[in-house]
A = this chain, B = another copy of it.
Amino acid sequence: MTKKKKSGKTENLVPALRGHIWIDGSKGTFLGYGRVVLLERIREYGSITKAAKALEISYRRAWVLIDSMNRQVPRPYVVTSAGGRRGGGTSVTPEGERAVALFWKIHENLQQFIKKQDAAVRSLYDE
């Protein structure tokens, strides 16, 4: 994802410090990078089926991710409907959008954090 060429900004040096963040609920993780990207695809396509295809994961996988998320959150992050004019669909709720926005914000902060700490890591490996 952070794969840059020769521009000089985000070099892909190795070794490199990496990091992840996610949010745990009482029944396990309910929000992380994968789910957030999935939410954005659902927003884009209005459909779990199409979002799953775009991300090259199975419908079932997408559904499980969404279900485990929706069931741990006070108010659902996506709402679904089956049947109707276009067969049904799925949309992201305002609560979901807030969560997505917050996740990206923290994610961004984490990248800053890692960038800082990475200096110490790199100093381990060059003289």
Interface residues of A (CB under 8 A from B): 14-26, 29-31, 72-74, 98-99, 102, 105-106, 109-110, 113-114, 117, 120-121, 124-125
A14-B26, A19-B110 given. 6 additional CB < 8 A pairs? A17-B21, A19-B19, A73-B125, A99-B124, A102-B124, A110-B113
The secondary structure that dominates the A interface is mixed
Copies in the complex: 2
Bound complex: CA of A32 vs CA of B83, how far in Å?
47
- Say how far A124's CB is from chain B's closest CB, in angstroms: 6
- Say how far A41's CB is from chain B's closest CB, in angstroms: 21
Given A117-B109, A124-B99, decide whether A30 and B17 contact each other with a Cβ distance below 8 A.
no
